[in-house]
């Protein structure tokens, strides 16, 4: 950030940093603390934390099938990470990301099988993804308008839109989009041969390249483009953006709708690559899991890739560990909760240290 940008933002001068060690320590300390705290919970539950974490690493990283599952699991998380990089760096909290993801998944689930029956996969899949992205952007529009026009906090409206989305997707599948050939309420199934192609000899589809490209593109957009600079000025100081003639309402709409489009696209890529159909009861809650990862990465796209990979190893490995060691299936959420707690404490401690050095 240049001196002129610091002046416009009204931000305090940053405390001296110790090269890359400062951000690295701030990122790793909450992770280590969360692992220790979760390990204590495991010990209370009667499980050996060392055995549990060792089993997680073995099944999620060291075994070839587990590693493939880890990479596949990364795809929606990476795209959602890109969506949150755009909004968080712009000073806007798109916590309605889960709703946008669900609507994108539903839209792709409703359109992809029909498009695949009329066009080749090369045409059908991109169209289904665009439809999912459009659904995510439209679902982000109400909170964006409320924030841009009325100054209403996007956190509350975004969370409410996510709650509505969960009920709306379930109702839509049960009432209008249900596959008549299925006993379970779900959309039509996209045939396996019409889904995103797999890499030769693996279970990994090309969605991983789409996801990596999108999260890197989000990083480059925010850090290396004129549009990203406008978004970041909005996040640093909306009053400065107004005085600079940037048009805060228009920027707010652009940021939240772009973030929503990426959220919807994450669901569409997941459906066209792995799921093939959407069930009425399906609600993975990926947005809640990605938020702490983006903050641990300091909203850096390259670091997001690293943290998402580590988290995916944990998710895949813990699923096996839960069965083998008798640990609850939702124990990963306990670890995410500890991550949020220690991340907040780390940020508080960092702010106190910076305040003393100013």
What residue segments make up the domains of the chain, in order of their start?
Answer: 79-284
Cα 187 from chain centroid (whole Å) = 24
**What's the pLDDT at 22?**
62
**Strand ranges in the chain using DSSP code E only, listed in sequence order:** none
**What's the pLDDT at 9?**
39
Contact 246, 234 (CB under 8 A): yes
Residue 119, judged by CB atoms within 10 A of its CB (0-12, 13-18, 19+), counts as middle
**What's the pLDDT at 353?**
74
**What's the pLDDT at 12?**
36
Q: Is 26 left (phi over 0), alpha (psi -120 to 50) or beta?
A: alpha
**What's the pLDDT at 346?**
82
What is the pTM (predicted TM-score) of this model? 0.90
Q: Helices 248-270 and 226-236 sit at what angle, rounded to 10 degrees?
A: 110
Which residue pairs, CB below 8 angstroms and at least 24 apart, start in 238-244?
238/91, 240/8, 240/9, 240/10, 244/8
Low-confidence ranges of the chain (pLDDT < 50): 1-18
**What's the pLDDT at 90?**
96
The pLDDT tens digits for 61-94 are 999 999 999 999 999 999 999 999 999 999 999 9
Smallest CA-to-CA distance from 38 within 335, 300, 353 is with 335
């Amino acid at each position: 950030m240049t001196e002129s940008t610091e002046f416009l933002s009204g931000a305090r001068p940053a405390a001296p940093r110790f090269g890359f060690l400062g951000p690295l320590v701030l990122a790793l300390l909450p992770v280590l603390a969360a692992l220790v705290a979760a390990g204590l919970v495991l010990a209370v539950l009667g499980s050996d934390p060392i055995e549990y974490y060792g089993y997680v690493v073995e099944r999620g990283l060291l075994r070839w099938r587990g590693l493939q599952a880890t990479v596949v699991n990364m795809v929606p998380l990476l795209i959602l990470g890109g969506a949150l990089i755009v909004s968080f760096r712009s000073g806007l909290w798109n916590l309605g990301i889960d709703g946008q993801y669900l609507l994108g998944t539903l839209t792709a689930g409703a359109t992809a099988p029909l498009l695949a029956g009329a066009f080749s996969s090369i045409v059908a899949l991109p169209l289904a993804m665009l439809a999912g992205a459009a659904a995510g952007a439209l679902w982000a529009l109400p909170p964006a308008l409320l924030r841009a026009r009325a100054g209403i906090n996007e956190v509350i409206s975004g969370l409410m839109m996510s709650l509505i989305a969960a009920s709306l997707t379930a109702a839509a599948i049960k009432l209008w989009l249900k596959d008549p050939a299925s006993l379970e309420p779900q959309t039509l199934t996209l045939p396996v041969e019409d889904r995103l192609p797999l890499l030769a000899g693996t279970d990994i589809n090309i969605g991983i390249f789409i996801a990596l490209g999108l999260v890197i593109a989000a990083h480059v957009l925010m850090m290396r483009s004129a549009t990203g600079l406008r978004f970041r000025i909005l996040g640093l100081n909306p009053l400065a953006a107004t005085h600079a003639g940037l048009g805060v309402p228009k920027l707010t709409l652009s940021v939240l709708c772009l973030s929503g489009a990426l959220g919807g696209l994450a669901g569409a890529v997941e459906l066209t690559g792995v799921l093939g159909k959407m069930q009425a009861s399906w609600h993975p809650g990926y947005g809640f899991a990605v938020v702490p990862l983006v903050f641990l990465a300091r909203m850096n796209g390259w670091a997001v890739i690293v943290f998402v990979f580590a988290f995916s190893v944990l998710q895949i490995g813990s699923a096996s560990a839960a069965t083998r060691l008798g640990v609850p299936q939702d124990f990963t959420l306990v670890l995410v909760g500890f991550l949020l707690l220690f991340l907040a404490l780390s940020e508080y401690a960092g702010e106190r240290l910076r305040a003393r050095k100013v």
